[in-house]
Amino acid sequence: MFAIFKREVRSFFTSPIGYLIVGAFLLLNGLFLWVFKGDYNIFDYGFADLGNFFLLAPWIFIFLVPAITMKSFSEERKMGTLELLLIKPISIGKLVSGKFLGAFLLCIIAIVPTVVYVFAISSLGVIEGNYDLGVVLGSYFGLLFLIAAYTAIGVFASTLSDNQIIAFIVGILLCFLIFNGFDAVSSLFANGETQQMVQGFGARSHFDSIARGVMDTRDLVYFISLTALFLYLTFQRLKQLPR
């Protein structure tokens, strides 16, 4: 598994793709949060907190994560190297785990520079350092769980076709449906309890809960289960592929 993990990480940073993806994430966040006028602009928001960043980041990652994972198995299938990997003395489970962890690490690397925003927000407050650190940490924690789920979904999407563009589009659609689809469906019901129940199947309500600084084990179990589900589907899909 570690060999696959190293191979994935090396493949990202021996080509411009990894740098472009990380740069695109930071550029988009920077422009929407600090430059472009609009709902996400921190200066227009009027409060020195990172709430807008955590509203924006899940939407950017819907596109970013599938861009990272689209080549995980699609490229292997197209190049004919997947069959070689499957006949090597490495289990499918370790192969999937290595691919998943490699893509997940790149997403974490993309997030790390945004810690600068915390210091910027601290300086912008009327009273320097007057921000809720617990909410910030909880939001970063929730974002990591959301990214893990997105990554598992993207890796699964990459097994569905040997065309990276198709894997990218399918990954975006699945991530969008999991994050926002259930919220949209819930609006069709008039009953408040039914709306909450339907929303509970989506990732958005669970992410919002963690982002508020509320550490509920149900939210953690949801994201862990969602990640495990798509990794299991990836495992089953690879088992069905001809060797």
**Ranges 38-47, 49-58, 148-157, 202-211, most confident:** 148-157
pLDDT, tens digit (0-9, with 9 covering 90-100), for 125-137: 555 555 667 778 8
pLDDT at 132: 67
Q: Mean pLDDT lowest for which of 7-21, 133-147, 214-228?
A: 7-21
pLDDT for the residue 84: 74
Q: Average pLDDT for residues 229-242, to the nearest whole number?
A: 89
Per domain, the residue ranges of the chain are: 1-242
Residue 156 CB partners (closer than 8 Å, separation 6+): 174, 230, 231, 233, 234, 237
What is the pLDDT, as a whole number, of residue 58?
A: 92
pLDDT over 70, % of the chain: 92
pTM of the model: 0.90
Residue 239's pLDDT band (cuts 50, 70, 90):
confident
Residue 169: which residues within 8 A CB-CB, separation 6 or more? 66
Of the ranges 137-151, 190-204, 224-238, which one carries the lowest mean pLDDT score?
Answer: 190-204
21 contacts: CB under 8 Å, gap ≥ 6: 12, 64, 67, 68, 106, 110
- What's the pLDDT tens digit per position in 156-202? 999 998 899 999 999 999 999 999 998 888 888 877 788 888 888 99
Q: pLDDT-based confidence at 48, cuts 50/70/90?
A: low
CA dihedral 230, 224, 180, 34 (to 10 degrees): -120
CA distance 40 to 23: 19
pLDDT for 124: 65
> Is the predicted pLDDT of residue 115 greater than 70, yes or no?
yes
What's the mean pLDDT in 122-148? Answer: 76
Q: Does residue 21 have a pLDDT over 90?
A: no
